[in-house]
Chain A
Amino acid sequence: AQTVTQSQPEMSVQEAETVTLSCTYDTSESDYYLFWYKQPPSRQMILVIRQEAYKQQNATENRFSVNFQKAAKSFSLKISDSQLGDAAMYFCAYRRGSWGKLQFGAGTQVVVTP
C-alpha cells in the first residue's frame, strides 16, 4: 500500500521569506505522479504543482518549486517570496499511474506573518 507522510502540522513564514514543506511517500510502483494541493479557508482545492516520477527535472510554477528525490521518496515544496495569500493548508498527494486515485498526506498549515 502506498502512504504519504507530511510530518509538519504547521509552518510559519514571514512575508517575502521562503518556506519548505516536507513530504515523503512509500511505493513500489515506477509509474506515479506527485502533487501539491493548496486548500485556503474557502476549502476549494487548488493544484499547486505536479511532478511525474519519470521526469528527473524538478517541477516549477512561478514561486513554487519542488525538490523531488526519487530514491529517497521525498517530495518537498518550496514557496519563495511568501505572500499573505499563500496562507492555507497544503496537501501532498500521490497517484499511481495516469488514472489512479489520489492519496493525500495529513497536510501542513502554512501561516504567513506580515
Chain B
Amino acid sequence: GAVVSQHPSRVICKSGTSVKIECRSLDFQATTMFWYRQFPKQSLMLMATSNEGSKATYEQGVEKDKFLINHASLTLSTLTVTSAHPEDSSFYICSALADNEQFFGPGTRLTVL
C-alpha cells in the first residue's frame, strides 16, 4: 500500500513558538491531504483539507491563522502551529488521498510547555 510519512514524530516546544509538521507521500502523488488532531482516548477530528496549489479548506472552529497549511507539491503538505500554547498539545495526524482511499501518516505528538 501507499506510504505516508510525518516529521517529526514528536516535538516539544516552548509556549509562544511556532512548530512545523511535514507530511509526505513517499511513493505516490496526492493532490489532496488531510490534517487531523486527536486528543487522548478520543476520535480523530478533521482540522483541514489541503489541496495542492490552492488554499486549504478549514473545518468550522479551526483557526486558519493559527494552523497554517501549505501544500506546495504533490508529495508534501505542511502544518505550522503558530504561537503554540499548552492547549495545542495533541497528536496530529495527516493522511493523503489516493486510489479512492486515505493513507495515514504515523502521527506527530506535539507537547507545548
Contact = CB atoms under 8 A, between A and B. Distances in A.
Interface in A22-64: 42-45, 47, 50
Contact of A42 (B44, B49, B106): B106
Given A43-B107, A45-B93, A101 B44 contact: no
Consensus secondary structure, chain B interface: strand
A104 B45 CA distance: 8
Contacts of B107: 43-44
Size bin of chain A's contact surface: 10 to 19
A43 B91 contact: yes
Contacts, number: 37
Contacts of A50: 101
Contact of B97 (A43, A99, A105, A106): A99
A101 B46 contact: yes
B95 interface: yes
Interface string B89-113: 0010101010011101011000000
